[in-house]
Amino acid sequence: MGEKGTVWLPEGVSTLAPEIDSLFYFVFWVSVVLFLGVVSTMAYLAFRYRRRSPREIPAPVKESTLLEVAWVTVPVILVLIVFNWGFKSFIALGVAPPDTYDIQVRGRQWLWEFEYPNGTIATNELRVPVDRPVRLIMSSTDVIHSFYVPVFRVKQDVVPNRYTNVWFEATRTGEFDLFCTEYCGTQHSGMLAKVIVLSQGEFDAWVESGGGDLENLPLPEYGAMLYQQQACFTCHSTDGSVTIGPSFQGLFGSQRQLANGQTVVADENYIRESILDPQAKLVQGFPPVMPASYSALNERQVSALIAFIQEQQ
Ligand code: CUA
């Protein structure tokens, strides 16, 4: 297996990957051998014992004890090997070593939020140190999501009202895909994130910096950052295309036709209310699917988003 992985599996970038992969390939090759063996024997026998004339009557078949014992014991042995191997890997995946670095993960419609021990929070970018076991303590603020990083060979449901966890130890630095693999609503397929594996030094510096000093940016730039971070882009475009929600292009100052028949002007107060209480003034033609979770944004963040929307003309 090279750096790029194979047709069957992507590159493995965690300490557990070789174990998972060898089990996968064992099951795979056993299946290939059995499949070819069964199908070719079947084809051969069908040809060998084909009916040669309409009046041909075959001799009675006598069972072979040896054959019957073989086709019971060989599969049982194979299944026990796979069970034993799989159970060991399952335990290794499930039980984290004692000295892990812990990160809190929150899934919500439709983004991932990561919180580090010193309070640093990041969205849709999970930074972890290389060569160090990392444990994720995961929860959901709404529906069931699933945390999946193919190169680490870890996948775990993220559910409301309880914690689940995974652990992994990355074996090289780089940037890798993180997917949500549980259907969680209209923008499930857009719930994409990155895992960024850094050297211990780079990682420490990043965590110490609090993930970059966003608070001091000018409002429109801070808003642009929040537009990405809070995953507004999954539902609201800035180029006029209509997806789940209205596009931000030309939104500010325009007349909005509401579902209840009224018309309002999209000024600062209207946008503020629509962020904090999305169902208060629903625009005609759009479903009431915006999560209420944005009410957790602080005043400066709301102002920043309004300033950003104002610029999308
Ligand atoms: Cu979250 Cu699918």
Q: SS3 letters for the chain?
A: CCCCCCCCCCCCCECCHHHHHHHHHHHHHHHHHHHHHHHHHHHHHHHHCCCCCCCCCCCCCCCCHHHHHHHHHHHHHHHHHHHHHHHHHHHHHHCCCCCCEEEEEEEECCEEEEECCCCCEEECEEEEECCCEEEEEEEECCCCEEEEEHHHCEEEEECECCCEEEEEEECCCEEEEEEECCCCCCCHHHCCEEEEEECHHHHHHHHHCCCCCHHHCCHHHHHHHHHHHCCHHHCCCCCCCCCCCCCCCCCCCCEEEECCCCEEECCHHHHHHHHHCCCCCCECCCCCCCCHHHHHCCHHHHHHHHHHHHHCC
> Which of 86-95, 133-142, 221-230 is predicted with the least confidence, judged by mean pLDDT?
221-230
The pLDDT assigned to 216 comes to 66
In this structure, whether the domain defined by 101-208 belongs to CATH 2.60.40.420 is answered with yes
CB 188 within 8 A of CB 194: no
Q: 189 alpha carbon to ligand 1 midpoint, in Å? A: 7
How do the domains of the chain map onto residue ranges? 1-47+61-95, 101-208, 216-310
**Residue 213 pLDDT > 80, yes or no?**
no
In this structure, whether the domain defined by 216-310 belongs to CATH 3.40.50.970 is answered with no
Q: Does 182 sit in the ligand 1 pocket, CB within 6 Å?
A: yes
The pLDDT assigned to 69 comes to 95
Under the banding of pLDDT at 50, 70 and 90, the label for residue 2 is: very low
- Kindly report the number of other CB atoms within 10 A of residue 115's CB atom: 15
The pLDDT assigned to 299 comes to 83
Atom of ligand 1 nearest to the CA of 109: 1
User: What are 243-277's pLDDT values in tens digits?
Assistant: 888 999 988 888 888 888 888 888 888 989 999 98
The pLDDT assigned to 26 comes to 93
Q: Does 106 sit in the ligand 1 pocket, CB within 6 Å?
A: no
266: helix, strand or coil = coil
Under the banding of pLDDT at 50, 70 and 90, the label for residue 173 is: very high
Q: Does 158 sit in the ligand 1 pocket, CB within 6 Å?
A: no
Tell me if the bond preceding 110 is cis, omega within 30° of 0.
yes
**Residue 230 pLDDT > 90, yes or no?**
no
Fold designation for 1-47+61-95: Helix Hairpins (1.10.287)
The pLDDT assigned to 214 comes to 59
Segment 177-197 mean pLDDT: 92
Q: 182 alpha carbon to ligand 1 midpoint, in Å? A: 5
Atom of ligand 1 nearest to the CA of 181: 2
Atom of ligand 1 nearest to the CA of 188: 2
Residue with more model confidence, 227 or 157: 157
Cα–Cα nearest to 93, from 140, 160, 152, 6? 152
Residue with more model confidence, 245 or 218: 245
Under the banding of pLDDT at 50, 70 and 90, the label for residue 301 is: confident
The pLDDT assigned to 3 comes to 59
Both tokens of residue 130?
A: 């290389």
- Kindly report the number of other CB atoms within 10 A of residue 279's CB atom: 11
User: What are 9-36's pLDDT values in tens digits?
Assistant: 889 999 999 999 999 999 999 999 999 9
Segment 172-177 mean pLDDT: 93
CB 128 within 8 A of CB 14: no
Segment 34-44 mean pLDDT: 96
**Residue 285 pLDDT > 60, yes or no?**
yes
Measure CA of the first residue to CA of the last residue in the chain; give whole Å. 50
Phi, psi of 167 (to 5 degrees): -140, 155
Q: 234 alpha carbon to ligand 1 midpoint, in Å? A: 12
Q: Does 191 sit in the ligand 1 pocket, CB within 6 Å?
A: yes
Under the banding of pLDDT at 50, 70 and 90, the label for residue 45 is: very high
Q: Does 184 sit in the ligand 1 pocket, CB within 6 Å?
A: yes
Cα–Cα nearest to 166, from 105, 93, 116, 98? 93
